[in-house]
Amino acid sequence: MFSSVSTMMVAGFSLGLLHALDADHVMAVSALSSRKPGLLSAIKHSAHWALGHAGVLLASGLLLFGLGWQIPQAFSNLAEASVGLVLIIIGLVCIWQFRKQPLRLSHHKHGEVEHAHWCIDDELDTHTSKNSKAHTPVLVGMLHGLAGSAPALALIPVVVKGNIYSAFMYLLVFSLGVMLSMLLFAAGLGVIQKNLKHINIRFYQFSRYLIASASILLGGFWLSQSL
């Protein structure tokens, strides 16, 4: 009994680690994090995304398991299409924000020495609601939880054998795997972006546009495949 439970937990956690690295998840978190790059910001965005993903997955999984229902195919298709649409919107919003934060030459004087360097105007961030920034990754994570977790939900009847407590534990360790994997990815992304900003701010700005454009392209492809 203990061996079967342990195997179930390891399987759920491992699947969660892999599930977090799906292309749509990685792209959404990358684009959202690029709006205000840095290690702390990237970790916050990924944590909020993972919480939204876990909350919806746990609620929908237990509800479906408890009632013996299955997710309608039409609903799954709609959720998948919504993921593509959201990726497009995130990319467009990022590009709009980046255009509002152009590179400018900043002059500094230290004693008798004056020097200038390029920097990004971040004034727009001060006018953006902190609550809306926190809510956006949570909502995106919730959408991904509805759209992309069908494999995890499909395995529940197989691994839990009618035990709702086991179903909850399986979904919990799966969600913990998703969160850990996404936090590690976001931490790496945050370090890279922070270092790139200090090394070459122009290339860093280009990388932000590149991520936003990739989000739009992936969103368009995702949308076309789900329709």
pLDDT tens-digit series, residues 8-52: 778 888 888 998 899 999 999 999 888 777 788 888 889 999 999
Question: For the chain, how big is the Rg over CA atoms in Å?
Answer: 20
CA 222 to chain centre: 16
Please state, in angstroms and as integers, the Cα–Cα distance from residue 39 to each residue in 156, 164, 194, following that order: 35, 38, 7
For residue 132, the model assigns a pLDDT of 47
For residue 52, the model assigns a pLDDT of 92
Q: Token pair 């934060």 is at which residue? A: 101
Q: Which stretches of the chain are assigned E, i.e. beta strand?
A: 103-110, 113-120
Helix (H) or strand (E) holding 46: helix 39-67
Q: Which amino acid is at 34?
A: S
For residue 41, the model assigns a pLDDT of 83
pLDDT surpassing 80 at residue 98 = yes
Asked whether 166 and 5 are in contact (CB, 8 A), the reply is yes
Handedness of CA 138, 142, 143, 147 (dihedral sign): positive
How far is residue 29's CA from residue 22's CA, in Å, rounded to a whole number? 11
Helix (H) or strand (E) holding 8: helix 2-19
How far is residue 116's CA from residue 103's CA, in Å, rounded to a whole number? 13
For residue 88, the model assigns a pLDDT of 96
Least confident of 59-63, 121-125, 211-215: 121-125
Interior angle at CA 182, CA 75 and CA 137, nearest 5: 55
Asked whether 190 and 40 are in contact (CB, 8 A), the reply is yes
